[in-house]
Structure 1
Amino acid sequence: MTVHQDYGAFLAAKARLDPPTGLAVVPELPEALFQFQRDVTGWALRRGRAALFAGTGLGKTLMELSWGDAIARETGGMVLLFAPLAVSAQVIREAKKFGIAARAVSQQSDCGPGINVTNYQKIEHFSLSAFVGLILDESSILKSTSGHYRTRLIVEAAPVPFRLAATATPAPNDFMELGNHAEFLGAMSHSDMLATFFTHDGGETQKWRLKGHAEDDFWRWLASIAVMIRRPSDLGYEDGAYRLPPIRRHQRTVRADYRPSLETGTLFPMEARTLGERLAARRDSVDERVAMAAELTPRDRPFVWWCNLNSESDALAKAIPGAVEVRGSDAPEEKERKLIGFSEGRIRVLVTKASIAGFGMNWQHCADTGFVGLSDSFEQVYQAERRFWRFGQEKPVNVHFIAAETEGAVVANLRRKEADAEKMAAAMVRHMADLSSAAVRGQAREIPAYDPRQAIALPDFLARGAAA
């Protein structure tokens, strides 16, 4: 008998598709959902543990709330939704807007049946095993393989039967992020995913590529736990209102204060190439870039300036009348107060960093923004721009990039990175589109090919060993 059980467990571990663990019947969902949102939410409910990789502005918050509300109603239990700082208040406003019951909570004793909303910084005040459902808004927080939140969420979420992770389209070549999502959902461990589908790319242990023979299996497996969508047409729906107004990027260049150098043998300023050279170029041009930013800031409409250095942020807040600065050193409550103040129109000009406010906020009321300093993270620029350029934006969005002449063609480089990212994302969608579309739009629950309840016919030599 022992051999039968061990062999069954061995085969079950080899099953490629993660079987659904969700609701057999999808309950009534909010009328506010568009058809593609309704179908995606229904699929996630049938799955039980799922990831929504949906582009910015596709209504992830409404889908999260609809999913959590359905789980709470069907089970009578508590659902906990984690969101970035200040975004939790935005989630509560969205819930009220759509008539979905949700409460803001700071600790376990605040929670009750239904949807409970908090931010990631308060995770230590909750016992995750007490909840029937867990939702991660902006689940890119799982990106780091060694991050504090990543590890704690994966370990403590294991007993939670219903789990939903939602983020904008992940980087198609960031397999670490995909592996962390799979581990959070309980579909496969991060290390097992790499061992099953990937191989080392050269000598660097952090670089992996899909095994040639495993590519189809990988995308099929990923489509069993995640929906990837940049626009409704990726799943066969009409794009309709999701066609956005144009986004216009403008590079503004300030002259570099440069002197000929006998040491380097250069008479003219040279474009920075290394990270150190770019950082030096930014530090040497703070005053000039801040002065240009102050001149560009309109006096009659909202504006957000994104900085990279504290010196940029300090100088901008002083140079622009009425500007409010959100710093990393601010207390969480103070950050939240300022970000909500801008969202609700009480603050007209905001000065902050993409690492602080570049994720999750819905700022369609603003169509003008700019970067007075850049990090080397394309994802941060992408996310920061999409606080404004998203569904619900009615005006063309203008984005200004202010750089020293030694920093080179900033906008051209961003466009190149964006084209590369779009190409990779398109490939990811192309691989998954048919599989995801069939699962999302179909009404039947998925049935894995392997059913461990079936009797296993063992070879004679194993059967004789079991009898002995």
Structure 2
Amino acid sequence: MNYIEFLESKVVVAENFGATIDKRLLSDTLMPHQKAIVPWAIEGGRRAIFASFGLGKSVIQLEIARQVILLTKKHFLICMPLAVVGEFRRDNDMLGTGLEIEYITDTDDIEDVSEFDNFLNYIEGIDDPGPKIYCTNYERVRKGDIDPNKFGGVSFDEASILRNLKTETTNYVLQHFKSVPYRFVATATPTPNDFIEILNYADYLGVIDRGHALTRFFQRDSTKAGNLTLYENKKEEFWKWVATWAVFINKPSDLGFDDTGYNLPKLNLHEVEVTNVVDGPIVNKDGELVLFKDTTKSLVDVSREKSESVALRVQKAFDILNDNGDVSNWIIWHHLESERAEIERRFKGTQLKSVYGSQTNKEKEDLLISFSNGEYSILSTKPKIAGSGCNMQHACNNMIFVGIDYKFNDFIQAIHRCYRFGQTKEVNVWVILTQNERDVLKKLKMKWANHIELQTEMVNIVREYGLNSDKIKSDMKRQLFNNRRTATVGEATVYNDDTVNVHKDMPDNSTGMVLTSIPFGDHYEYSDNYNDFGHNFGNGKFFEQMDYLTPHLLRTLKPGRIAAVHIKDRIRYSYQNGTGFTTIDDFSADVSYHFRKHGFHLVGKITITTDVVRENNQTYRLTWGEQRKDATKMGVGLPEYIYLFRKEPSSSDNAYADDPVVKTIDEYLLSLWQLDAHAYWKSSGDRFLSFDELSKYDMKFVYNAWKKYDKEHIYNFQEHLRVCEDLATVDRLSKLFMTIPPTSSNDLVWTDINRMNTLNANQANRKREKHICPLQLDIIDRLIYRFTNEGDLIDDPFGGLFSTAHQALKLGRKAVSAELNPDYYDDGLFYLKALEYKLSVPTLFDLL
């Protein structure tokens, strides 16, 4: 491929993994929107159906199952919440699939039906044990009782269980169910702005690698692991990509069909606040006396508030039901067993029946179906038991939440047991809370608003494109970067452009040094177009794009000169490597191989130590607690490296560069040479500060004293540990940074780097976006001084904030640099112009 073709190949879309079916084979019972979704899903083979409540997700899944059985000649599995098996059986009878639905707790007794003769008997109606639709619950999946290899297809109903990568169910599904050829998920409520849930669906369906999606669409907080924000300028592309593998539909007209029979009635939300006055002193969660309760609730606070107010809230529910006695059937939602007990006590003598966890599956199913058939009038249960999949719209239009919590998905699902298509009456929802739970209700309503926003984003795309994935893919081929800008500031020329395009036009043998911090593979995307080197699927693709750049770096560098590359190894979390524990990707070795492959020679490695405490605060992979539980799963902090690559000189007689870096004896002293070229021996000395001295002096004095002591003495690990333990005893060992780090005077290990000495400090002061991996200014200074002459041209192909160009100008060199991100370009240009002004201001001596 040429470079443009390579960039166009980066378009992220979902492939088709299924087969095209004859639409005439679809059941006549299906509604028009269902007849559109089923063949689209089967052709994709791995698709998500986010259809609103009452649009027939169960019917869609049953028809998909029937068609996939015809295609694969194997059984089909539907995983669902415990309470909804009866709903699927009723819908299956209505659909008339001709297939039996059988509930299973394991797959030990299921026989394979891949024999072609059995299949022929099945489609010809001969009485033969052919393929079946099996259903099970998520508890069985979590326990590993279900072997996915028995099935040609699987659908996860109410698949929001996949939202959390840390659950046993999700881990098992991602590990084992990816072997099933046809995979589907169906739910009405992806959690608002919980993008991890959507990415987990995509990962399970096999439409993208989760790590690839993270770097492609999301801005991550380098100081807090897991803190994701969808780039504002990538929202449209993200939702278009989702639309290539998922359909969001609120009503049939979203796909161009008639909405007759699909108009929802009015929803009335009644907020009922009761006053919970606690006798005696009020204490917070830390046991401290306070004047008022904290209304911004933690999970612990919410749980305690609910426990304290059970009787009060249940009495209010009883009053609401009596005050509205003219309405017939009710659902009373609760979360605690103590609430259920109080409800049963207070409602004794009414037609109330409870559905709860210790009942058998059959008991739950019978009670729920009886309520939906109108056989009793008050159902008491928990959202996590009956809040998903049950259709109560024909039996009930009134519900009371005896209590609330922060779980929006449970809350909205419970409401939509009655508020769904087919409901003919206004739906009344009473929410009971105490005065100390206002923040909980506020958060629920905020999530509800976000949920509506998320659905609106997707439904608008569905209305525009329908289920035409090809049209979406065509529109996703955005224009590649073509808005080059350039500026010259003093002796520095900088570009806002793709670095490959900049370097292909640069003359041969023109630069005195390459000094750059390259992107860390596909770890992070720095700009919003396909030219970005961070926008690649895996390190292999990253280095494939580097193949278009590195030959130009070699060509433009003077013979014999140095390319200094700042790199760091990559952390691979358990969900990325499939091992269950964190590993390290030897990215520096890959960089070394890549540069050597293109003709560079590795001549040195400089190690820069990092602060292990700060690193753990960003990654949570080196925690003290986990280290104490099992040290074998813990690694060590990752240093950074400067790899020194040399371009071969034209002549091999003395190995000097064609344009040698020459320093006079008075500017490059013997002492400096020893520090540059060789480690020095440490001499023995006295002890470091005692416990009493450590507790007396301020930390700045302690740090500087340790730095001096460590440089002047033979290193003693036990003494180092003793100092740290003494500081911890007096509560002076920081949890934010490494208080007493190891030091070294070896030029190959730089421990005295000021981590804050970057242009990012200025970015923070100016409230501008910080660069994700800045190169420290003192590192740049050392490298430029050591490997270049005054007047040399320093090349940074990944300019960032133009730190290299900035320091090159300060040291009397020239600079050329390219940066793709327009914001970084503008900010870097600001710093260069500020430096130019500073350098041009005459001093008092100039005036004299």
- TM superposition score normalised by structure 1: 0.83
The 5-angstrom pairing of residues 274-285 of structure 1 reads 274-275=297-298, 276-285=300-309
Give the Cα separation in 2 of the matches to 1:199 and 1:137.
Answer: 31
Q: CA deviation at 1:381?
A: 1.2
Q: What is the identity, as a one-letter code, of the residue corresponding to 1:91? A: F
Post-superposition Cα deviations, 1:262-292, rounded to whole Å, max 9, x if no partner, equal 99785xx767222344444333322121122
Post-superposition Cα deviations, 1:2-56, rounded to whole Å, max 9, x if no partner, equal xx9xxxxx99995622221222233421222221221111211211111111111
In structure 2, list runs of 5 or more residues that go unmatched. 112-129, 284-288, 478-546, 552-596, 598-848
The 5-angstrom pairing of residues 287-306 of structure 1 reads 287-297=311-321, 301-306=328-333
Match of 1:219 among 200, 217, 239: 239
The 5-angstrom pairing of residues 313-462 of structure 1 reads 313-321=340-348, 322-364=351-393, 365-408=395-438, 414-431=444-461, 433-439=463-469
Aligned partners of 2:74 and 2:151 also within 8 Å:
yes
Give the Cα separation in 2 of the matches to 1:105 and 1:260.
Answer: 53
Q: What is the identity, as a one-letter code, of the residue corresponding to 1:419? A: A
Residue matched to 1:452: none
Give the Cα separation in 2 of the matches to 1:169 and 1:290.
Answer: 29
Q: CA deviation at 1:436?
A: 4.3
Aligned partners of 2:18 and 2:45 also within 8 Å:
yes
Larger relative contact order (Cα-Cα within 8 Å, sequence gap ≥ 6): 1
Aligned partners of 2:297 and 2:440 also within 8 Å:
no
2:302 matched to 1:273? no
Match of 1:191 among 190, 211, 214: 211
Give the Cα separation in 2 of the matches to 1:306 and 1:203.
Answer: 40
Match of 2:135 among 104, 109, 117: 117
Give the Cα separation in 2 of the matches to 1:75 and 1:398.
Answer: 46
Aligned partners of 1:80 and 1:133 also within 8 Å:
yes
Aligned partners of 1:236 and 1:437 also within 8 Å:
no
Q: CA deviation at 1:416?
A: 4.5
Residue matched to 1:250: 270
Q: CA deviation at 1:204?
A: 2.5
- SS in structure 2 at match of 1:93: helix
2:91 matched to 1:94? yes
Give the Cα separation in 2 of the matches to 1:221 and 1:262.
Answer: 52
Larger CA deviation: 74-83 vs 59-68: 74-83
- SS in structure 1 at match of 2:420: coil
Give the Cα separation in 1 of the matches to 2:240 and 2:446.
Answer: 30
Q: What is the identity, as a one-letter code, of the residue corresponding to 1:340? A: I
- SS in structure 2 at match of 1:382: helix
Post-superposition Cα deviations, 1:329-375, rounded to whole Å, max 9, x if no partner, equal 44444434433343344443222221222111111111111111111
Post-superposition Cα deviations, 1:41-74, rounded to whole Å, max 9, x if no partner, equal 1211211111111111111111111111111123
User: Structure 1 residues 204, 429: closer, same or farther in 2, change over 3 A?
Assistant: farther
In structure 1, list runs of 5 or more residues that go unmatched. 5-9, 450-457
Match of 1:105 among 103, 106, 130: 103
Q: What is the identity, as a one-letter code, of the residue corresponding to 1:80? A: L
Residue matched to 2:69: 72
- SS in structure 2 at match of 1:125: coil
Aligned partners of 1:373 and 1:403 also within 8 Å:
yes
Give the Cα separation in 1 of the matches to 2:380 and 2:424.
Answer: 23
Larger CA deviation: 201-210 vs 428-437: 428-437
User: Structure 1 residues 368, 234: closer, same or farther in 2, change over 3 A?
Assistant: same
Q: CA deviation at 1:146?
A: 1.7
Residue matched to 1:128: 148
Aligned partners of 1:363 and 1:387 also within 8 Å:
yes
- SS in structure 1 at match of 2:82: coil
Q: What is the identity, as a one-letter code, of the residue corresponding to 1:237? A: F
Aligned partners of 1:49 and 1:225 also within 8 Å:
yes
Aligned partners of 1:82 and 1:88 also within 8 Å:
no
Q: What is the identity, as a one-letter code, of the residue corresponding to 2:101? A: R
Match of 2:334 among 299, 307, 317: 307
**Identity fraction in percent:** 30
Task: Number of aligned residue pairs: give it.
Answer: 441
Give the Cα separation in 2 of the matches to 1:12 and 1:243.
Answer: 43
Aligned partners of 2:52 and 2:251 also within 8 Å:
yes
Q: CA deviation at 1:165?
A: 0.9
Give the Cα separation in 2 of the matches to 1:256 and 1:212.
Answer: 43
2:188 matched to 1:168? yes
Q: Pick the structure with greater CA Rg.
A: 2
- SS in structure 2 at match of 1:57: coil
User: Structure 1 residues 279, 151: closer, same or farther in 2, change over 3 A?
Assistant: closer
Q: What is the identity, as a one-letter code, of the residue corresponding to 1:356? A: I
The two structures, once aligned, show a CA RMSD in angstroms of: 3.4
Larger CA deviation: 35-44 vs 254-263: 254-263
User: Structure 1 residues 153, 260: closer, same or farther in 2, change over 3 A?
Assistant: closer
Q: What is the identity, as a one-letter code, of the residue corresponding to 1:55? A: S
Q: What is the identity, as a one-letter code, of the residue corresponding to 2:334? A: C
User: Structure 1 residues 308, 199: closer, same or farther in 2, change over 3 A?
Assistant: same
2:153 matched to 1:156? no
- SS in structure 2 at match of 1:311: helix
Aligned partners of 2:49 and 2:247 also within 8 Å:
yes
Post-superposition Cα deviations, 1:67-100, rounded to whole Å, max 9, x if no partner, equal 1111112333211111110212210111012212
User: Structure 1 residues 274, 121: closer, same or farther in 2, change over 3 A?
Assistant: closer
User: Structure 1 residues 78, 280: closer, same or farther in 2, change over 3 A?
Assistant: closer
User: Structure 1 residues 80, 287: closer, same or farther in 2, change over 3 A?
Assistant: same
- SS in structure 1 at match of 2:179: coil
Post-superposition Cα deviations, 1:217-258, rounded to whole Å, max 9, x if no partner, equal 433322211111222233333333211111112223333235
Give the Cα separation in 1 of the matches to 2:446 and 2:231.
Answer: 27
User: Structure 1 residues 294, 110: closer, same or farther in 2, change over 3 A?
Assistant: farther
Post-superposition Cα deviations, 1:90-125, rounded to whole Å, max 9, x if no partner, equal 101110122122312313325650322222223333
